[in-house]
């Protein structure tokens, strides 16, 4: 890894022109999202393109990666072009609130902006990437409702303290949680992140926990197993 890039087993992500660098949240979502039966995938707020690239490695679907920021789109396009899956990933600059296509997606993923009340960065690009002012959870869910197929799945990663409000808003759009993964840095720490999968049909609900590090401070077997196809070394 350098300051400008992060190398995975099958691709490299350059992030020197993106507000949000390669991080654990994106890797968790890219490894966890269910893409087994996906044919058309939408990545909302793609940033560097990392999640789109991870999903392309995991399945044969055609992927559309959308971002509002021009620099992020240019960098994601370069990352895609240098990857083995350039023919299956399209990166477009668009405000997802105005994005419209004739065919719906059977899988949508998003690592959305998540700071609501925190002090904003003076860096406008970084602030837009991190704060929900640029894309509220309601706007995100409204877009998902418009773009998700009848049998589609929407997977998202959230701060743990945002779960209740996100959940209640999702229910307003008749998007029902069916799978949840609670992420903790260690067994004694509070839940830090929530990975959530929603569908249009109310169905059985499953919840699991992932502890990232064991008592010795090393990455846990569960985290290694989840990410083993991507990280060169943990």
Q: How far apart are CA 80 and CA 153, in angstroms?
A: 24
Asked whether residue 127 is assigned to any structural domain, the reply reads yes
Kindly list the averaged pLDDT for each block of 10 residues, start to end, along the chain of length 234: 86 92 95 97 97 98 97 97 98 96 96 61 45 76 98 97 96 97 97 97 93 96 97 88
pLDDT at residue number 131: 38
Task: For residue 216, tell me if it sits in a domain.
Answer: no
Q: Would 79 be classed as within a structural domain? A: yes
Q: Could you give the number of structural domains in the chain?
A: 1
pLDDT of residue 127: 44
The confidence score (pLDDT) of residue 200 equals 96
Looking at the domain assignment, is residue 87 inside a domain?
yes
Tell me, what's the pLDDT at 130?
Answer: 43
Residue 119: which residues within 8 A CB-CB, separation 6 or more? none
208 domain-assigned: no
What pLDDT was estimated at residue 211? 98
Domain contains 189: no
| Alpha-helical regions (H) of the chain | 24-32, 50-58, 70-81, 124-130, 137-147, 163-172, 221-227
pLDDT of amino acid 47: 95
Q: What is the CA radius of gyration of the chain?
A: 17
Amino acid 123: pLDDT:
46
Whether 119 is covered by a domain: the verdict is yes
Among 36, 163, 179, 45, residue whose Cα is nearest residue 99: 45
pLDDT of res. 2:
63
| Range of the structural domain that residue 71 is part of | 5-174
In a domain, 78, yes or no: yes
Give the CATH number, domain containing residue 132.
Answer: 3.40.50.150
| DSSP designation for 127 | H
């Amino acid at each position: 890894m350098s300051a400008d890039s992060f190398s995975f087993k099958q691709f490299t992500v350059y992030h020197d022109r993106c507000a949000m660098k390669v991080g654990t949240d994106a890797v968790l979502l890219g490894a966890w999202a269910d893409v087994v039966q996906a044919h058309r995938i939408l990545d909302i707020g793609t940033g560097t393109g990392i999640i789109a690239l991870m999903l392309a490695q995991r399945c044969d679907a055609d992927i559309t990666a959308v971002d509002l920021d021009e620099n992020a789109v240019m960098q994601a396009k370069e990352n895609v072009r240098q990857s083995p899956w350039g023919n299956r990933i399209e990166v477009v600059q668009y405000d997802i609130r105005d994005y419209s296509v004739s065919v719906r997606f059977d899988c949508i993923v998003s690592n959305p902006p998540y700071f609501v009340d925190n002090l904003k960065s003076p860096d406008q690009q970084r602030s837009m990437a991190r704060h929900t002012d640029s894309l509220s959870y309601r706007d995100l869910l409204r877009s998902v409702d418009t773009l998700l197929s009848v049998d589609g799945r929407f997977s998202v990663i959230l701060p743990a303290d945002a779960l209740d409000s996100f959940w209640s808003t999702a229910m307003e759009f008749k998007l029902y949680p069916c799978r949840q993964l609670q992420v903790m840095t260690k067994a004694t720490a509070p839940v830090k992140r929530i990975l959530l999968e929603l569908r249009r049909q109310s169905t059985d609900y499953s919840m699991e926990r992932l502890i990232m590090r064991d008592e010795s401070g090393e990455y846990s077997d569960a985290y290694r197993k989840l990410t083993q196809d991507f990280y060169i070394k943990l």
